[in-house]
Structure 1
Amino acid sequence: MQKVLLLALGLGLSATAAQAQVDTVRASTLPPAQQAEKLYNSGVAKYNGKNYRAAIQDFDRALTLRPDFAKAFYNRATTRYELKEYQQAVQDYDQAIKLEATGFSNYFGRAQAQEALGQKAEAELDYGKAAEIKPDYAPAWYYHGALLFEKGDFKAAKADFDQAIKVDPGYAYAYHDRASAQRKLGNFDAAIQDYTKALSLQPDFLPALLNRAAAKRRANDLKGALADYNTYLSKKQDNATAFTNRGSTRYDAGEYKGAVEDFSKALELDPGYAFAWNNRAAAYLKLEDYKSAAADAAKAIGLNAQYAEAYMNRGHAREMLRDADGACQDWRKAAELGLETGTSYAANSGCGAE
C-alpha cells in the first residue's frame, strides 16, 4: 500500500478572537493574559507566513506569561512538526493534552509526530483516541487504518477505511487504501472498484492506476491490466517497477518479446533490480535464448545470493546449454533455498548426490 500523507499537520492554526484595546498611555502594559493572547495571535500569523522560528519565539513568550495556555502548546507543537522537531512536538502535545484532555486535535497531532519518530504503537493509540473523541473526522480513521495495514491486519484496516469513507465519501486516498486492503484479502473485484472510485475522484492519482493494474492482473484480466499499465507509463516513464510489472503481465499473456523490452527498460532505470534480471531470464528462456537467460539469472544471483527462482532459471538455461552439472547444482541450490520444484527437476534429470 502506498500510504499518501494527506495533512502535514492534521489541523491548521487558529487565532483567538481579536479584542479592541484603547491605549491612551503608551507606557502602560497589557495584563499578562491579554499579552499572552496577543503573542499567540502573532505566532499564528507568523506560522501562516511560514516564518516558523519567529512563530516559536512568540509561542514561547506567550507560554511564559500564561503556562496553562493549551492552544499555545498545541500550536507550538504544530510549528515544531513543520520544523521536523518531532520529539519536542510530542512534548508540547503532551502538555496540551494535560490541559485539554478532550481536544481531538491534540491526539491527532501527537500521533502524526509519533509516527514521524517511528513510534507506530503510540501513534495508533492516539489516532484511535482522536477518532473516539471526534468520530466524524475522517483522517483519524484513515491514518489509524494505515497503521493497521502496515501491521498486516488488513480486515481491521478495511473497517477503518470504511469509516473514513462513510464520514467523507470524497476521500480518494481512503478508497485507494481500502482497495489495497481488499487486494490483500483476495477481494480483487472489490479492489478494482475502489481503485476506480479513487481515480474518478482524483484522475491524476497515478498510484491508484498502477495498483488497479496489479489487481486486474491478479483477477486474470490481463487485457485490462495492460491497458492500465500503458496509460500509467504514457504519463510516467521513470518507474522501474511499473515497467517490470507490465513486463510480467506481457509474459503472462505470452508476449515474450514485449516482456524482454519492458524488463530491459526497468534495468536501464535500475541496474540493481534483481527481480527484473530474473524475469528477463525467464522471458529469454521462453524465446529459447538460453545464453542470455543464463547470464541474466547469474546477474540476479550476484545481486541476491538467496534468490531461489533465479537458480531455477539458470538451471533450466544450463540444461539447454548442455551444462548438466551446472544445472544440477542450480536446482539443488533452489531446493536448498526452499523451492521444492528444484528437487523434482534434479531428480527427473538424474542428478546424483554431490
Structure 2
Amino acid sequence: MRHFLFLTATLTLAGGTAQAQVDTVRASTLPPAQLAEKLYNSGVAKYNQKSYRAAILDFDKALAAKPDFAKAYYNRATTRYELKEYQPAVQDYDQAIQLDPATFGPYFGRAQAKEALNQPAEAEQDYSKAAELKADYAPAWYYRGALRFEKGDFQAAKTDFDQAIKADPAYAYAWHDRGSTQRKLNNLPAAIQDYTKALSLQPDLLPALLNRAATKRRAGDLKGALQDYNEYLSKKKDNALAFTNRGSTRFEQGDYKGAVADFTQAVELDGSYAFAWNNRAAAYLKLEDFQKANADATKAISLNAQYAEAYLNRGHAREMLRQPDAACQDWRKAAELGLEVGNTHAANSGCGAQ
C-alpha cells in the first residue's frame, strides 16, 4: 500500500489572487496496441531481472489492452513456468498457439511444462511440432531424444541426438546423451568417442567423465576406466557411486585392498548404500577376512532383504567361519531370490535337504 505525505506550507501573499494547484493523474493517451507493447516490454525487462510476479502483472495489463497479443501469452507462460505454475503456463501456451500456430517457441515451452506435469507423451508431441517448425533448433531434438531414451526407444533417441548435434555441433549435452544411447545400443567405442567429444566441449561436464569410465570398464579397458575415475574423484569427492565403481574396477584388477578403501569411502558417504556394503564383503572374502565379509554382507541384507548376491557372499563367509548350516541357509536363500548358483554351492558343500 502506498503512503502519501501531505506537506503544508505558509504562503505569503503579495497581492493578487492566490490559486491552489491540484495534482491530477492523466489517463494514457497511447492507442491500445502501443500501450500493450509498452507493458509487454516492461514485463520482459522485469522477467530478465527475475522479478517474475511483477512481470506477470505487466503481461496481464498488456493482454487487457490487447487480448490477441500472442507474444504476451507466450512470455506470461514462460514466466509462470519459472514460478513452477505449470498448468497455468500450459493454458497460456495454448492461447499463444491458437493465435500464432506457426511459431515453434510456444510448442517447445508447452512441451517443457507438460514434462514438468509428468505428461511425457504430450510433451513428445510438442517437441516434435517444435522441431518440425524449426529444424535447426537443437533443444527440440535433444529433449525429444531424452524422452525417447527414458522410454527405452534407444534407436529413435539416437536419431534425435544426431539431429541435435547437426543443428548445434557444440551442444555438449547432446554429445553426452548420444554417448549414453550408444552405450545402450552396445556401441561402446562410439559411446566413448561421444563422451570424449562432450568433455572437449565442456570440460566440467563431470557425468561424461563418470560415464566414459563405466563404458571403458565394460569394454575391458580397466586401466583407462581407472584413469577416468581418478580424474573424476579428484574433482568431486562426495559421490558414493563413483567410489563404488572405482572400487569395482580395482576389484577386477585384483587390487582388493584398494577396492576395500573405495567401498569404505562409499559407505561413509552413504550408509544406506547396500551395493557398496556387499561389494566390500566380496573384497574382504578375497582378502580372507571372513569376519568382516560376514558383517558387511549382513549389513547389506539388513538394508535390502531381497539382495541375492549378499546372501551368496554371506554364505561363503559363513562356510569359511565353520558355520555350515548358516552357509547352506544363505545359499538357498540366494537361489530362492533368483541366483541359481546358490543351489550349486549348496550341493557342492554337501548341504542336506531342508
TM-score, scaled relative to structure 2:
0.92
- Size of the alignment, in residue pairs? 330
Deviation per CA, 1:199-257: give whole Å up to 9, x if none.
11111111111110000000000000000000111111011100000000000100000
Aligned CA RMSD, in angstroms, stands at 1.1
1:58-73 superposed matches below 5 A = 58-73=58-73
Deviation per CA, 1:28-80: give whole Å up to 9, x if none.
52121221111111111111111111100010111112111110000000001
Q: Is the alpha carbon distance of 1:28 and 1:184 closer, same or farther for their aligned partners in structure 2, counting shifts above 3 Å? A: closer
Q: Is the alpha carbon distance of 1:48 and 1:333 closer, same or farther for their aligned partners in structure 2, counting shifts above 3 Å? A: same
SS at match of 1:68: coil
Following superposition, the deviation at residue 347 of structure 1 comes to 1.5
Deviation per CA, 1:244-274: give whole Å up to 9, x if none.
0000000010000000000000111001100
Match of 2:51 in 1: 51
Match of 2:14 in 1: none
The letter for the 2-side match of 1:49 is Q
Separation in 1, partners of 2:339, 2:148:
31
Following superposition, the deviation at residue 143 of structure 1 comes to 0.4
Match of 2:146 in 1: 146
Match of 1:99 in 2: 99
- Considering only CA atoms, is the larger Rg found in Structure 1 or Structure 2? 2
Following superposition, the deviation at residue 344 of structure 1 comes to 1.1
Deviation per CA, 1:265-298: give whole Å up to 9, x if none.
0111001100000000000000001110011000
Match of 1:156 in 2: 156
Separation in 2, partners of 1:27, 1:91:
32
TM-score, scaled relative to structure 1:
0.92
The letter for the 1-side match of 2:92 is D
Deviation per CA, 1:273-324: give whole Å up to 9, x if none.
0000000000000000111001100000000000000000001111111111
Match of 2:266 in 1: 266
Separation in 2, partners of 1:204, 1:35:
46
Structure 1 position 108 matched with structure 2 position 111: no
SS at match of 2:203: coil
Match of 1:42 in 2: 42
Match of 1:317 in 2: 317
Separation in 1, partners of 2:210, 2:244:
12
SS at match of 1:346: helix
Separation in 2, partners of 1:27, 1:61:
14
Deviation per CA, 1:54-107: give whole Å up to 9, x if none.
100010111112111110000000001111111111111111111111111100
Separation in 2, partners of 1:153, 1:98:
31
Match of 1:171 in 2: 171
Match of 1:337 in 2: 337
Match of 2:291 in 1: 291
1:144-223 superposed matches below 5 A = 144-223=144-223
Following superposition, the deviation at residue 27 of structure 1 comes to 5.2
Structure 1 position 77 matched with structure 2 position 77: yes
Following superposition, the deviation at residue 353 of structure 1 comes to 2.1
Separation in 2, partners of 1:352, 1:123:
58
Separation in 2, partners of 1:162, 1:221:
26
Deviation per CA, 1:98-127: give whole Å up to 9, x if none.
111111110000111111121111111111
Match of 1:7 in 2: none
Separation in 2, partners of 1:234, 1:78:
39
Return 5+ residue gaps in structure 2 as ranges: 1-25
Match of 2:326 in 1: 326
Following superposition, the deviation at residue 348 of structure 1 comes to 1.5
